[in-house]
Amino acid sequence: MVRQISVQDFLGLRATIPVIDVRTPAEFAKGHIPGAFNVPLFSNEERVVVGTLYKQVGREEAILKGLDFVGPKMRLIAEEARRIAAGNEVIVHCWRGGMRSGSVAWLLETTGIKTHTLLKGYKAYRTQAQTTFNKPTEYIVLGGYTGSGKTDILKELRRLNQQVIDLENIAHHKGSSFGAIGEQAQTTNEQFENNLFESMLALQVTEPIWIEDESKSIGKNEIPQQMYETIRSSNVIFVDIPRHIRVERLVKEYATCGAEVLREALKRIERRLGGQNLTRAMKALDEADFHTAADISLTYYDKAYLKGVIQRDKNKVHNLNLEADTPPENAQIILEFAQKKGLWKK
């Protein structure tokens, strides 16, 4: 007998029971539950045909056409589900927990596979994600100019048993014109939100969460609106590291990426950098003078970042001078500073 489960039960059960998404490959590519297997009931083209029939002719005709498509695939679907199943058990879902997941669940139960369906389907998962993003959350925002090593500091804070959300890691982008260099291809924004939701599930929203100061857009991905507004109104620890040290970090990160890649990144900020600065930076790259090129790029990035900081509540921006690019030591200093300011307690 097929068992319907709520999204709350689903989030627990999926740790031991594999999840099968029976939506089309196109739906799955746009956004899916991390870890789910795509075993589509219809191809992209077949779903269009069935949907058109449903709208133009009626439900019965659409179901009959769907049976034409599914009939020859029933054995393949069952065999794939059996391969995926753990302990002969799976969870199946479609978009709204309707006919597609119900049909596949019936098939799998008929072939002896214990099957659960997600009540209200993938849509319920997405709703739960949005609910999580909208929850009142206490963030401690780690700010600082480009090249301050904020991402590495966050990693060290996590090693110190702090709750951390690494937005740049989830987005596969560092948030600047140079942000995609050395990163995986970015996902759709829907998938970015799903991956962000998954990272938040392991955290206690009643306890402070460390997060890096970001623009709303990180490459082509965007932070959910309510979450972004909460971050913007949160306390910020602004780490101020000397510019020459930040230049050194940028050179280490990007000098091996190739001059042409760096040229393209500089061209994307030409309007904000200014023609003369761009010419100087390009000349520096031609001469393999990466330090000068990095220093010139900071002319724009420091100004842009400072503009964003000024727009915050000045009473919630806490400046902290750091003298070296040593993330383990800096993380400890930041924790002690946060405790002194009453932002974090042991």
Q: Answer yes or no: are the C-beta atoms of 54 and 37 closer than 8 Å.
A: no
pTM of the model: 0.93
Q: How far apart are CA 236 and CA 230, in angstroms?
A: 12
pLDDT at position 258: 81
Q: How far apart are CA 215 and CA 235, in angstroms?
A: 16
Class of domain 3-129 as given by CATH: alpha beta
The residues, any chain, with a CB within 8 Å of residue 169's CB and separated by 6 or more, are 151
Stretch 6-30: mean pLDDT: 97
pLDDT at position 65: 86
Stretch 245-267: mean pLDDT: 89
Q: Answer yes or no: are the C-beta atoms of 133 and 148 closer than 8 Å.
A: no
Name 164's bridge partners: 210
Name 93's bridge partners: 21
- The closest alpha carbon to 97, from 79, 119, 116, belongs to 119
Q: Give buried/exposed letters for 200-224 (b at 16+ CB in 10 A, else e).
A: beeeeeeebbbbbbbeeebbebebb
pLDDT digits (tens, 9 = 90+) for 111-143: 999 999 999 999 999 999 999 999 999 999 999
Q: Beta strand 217-218 with 221-222: parallel, antiparallel or unpaired?
A: antiparallel
Q: What is the largest CA-CA distance in the chain?
A: 72
Classify 25 as helix, strand or coil.
helix
Catalytic residues: 94
pLDDT at position 275: 86
Residue of 213 and 344 predicted with greater confidence: 213
Stretch 287-312: mean pLDDT: 89
Token pair for residue 219?
A: 């490459």
Alpha helices in 25-135 (DSSP H): 25-30, 44-56, 59-70, 74-84, 99-110, 121-134
Same fold, 3-129 and 136-340: no
Could you state, in order of their start, the residue ranges of all structural domains in the chain? 3-129, 136-340
pLDDT digits (tens, 9 = 90+) for 34-92: 999 999 999 999 999 888 888 898 888 888 888 888 889 999 999 999 999 999 999 99
- In order of 13, 23, 182, 243, 245, the CA distances from 326 in angstroms are 41, 47, 22, 15, 11
Backbone angles phi, psi at 273, to 5 degrees: -75, -35
Q: Which fold has domain 136-340?
A: Rossmann fold (3.40.50)
The mean predicted confidence, pLDDT, of the chain is 93
334-340: long-range pairs with CB below 8 Å, 24+: 334/142, 334/153, 334/157, 334/237, 334/239, 335/157, 335/160, 335/162, 337/237, 338/140, 338/237
- The closest alpha carbon to 298, from 172, 136, 148, 139, belongs to 148
The residues, any chain, with a CB within 8 Å of residue 245's CB and separated by 6 or more, are 147, 324, 325
The residues, any chain, with a CB within 8 Å of residue 266's CB and separated by 6 or more, are 177, 273, 278, 281, 282, 285, 293, 297
Token pair for residue 258?
A: 């190739």
The residues, any chain, with a CB within 8 Å of residue 175's CB and separated by 6 or more, are 168, 214, 215, 218, 219
pLDDT at position 324: 95
Q: Answer yes or no: are the C-beta atoms of 281 and 297 closer than 8 Å.
A: yes
pLDDT at position 346: 53
Q: Beta strand 19-21 with 89-93: parallel, antiparallel or unpaired?
A: parallel
Q: How far apart are CA 236 and CA 337, in angstroms?
A: 12
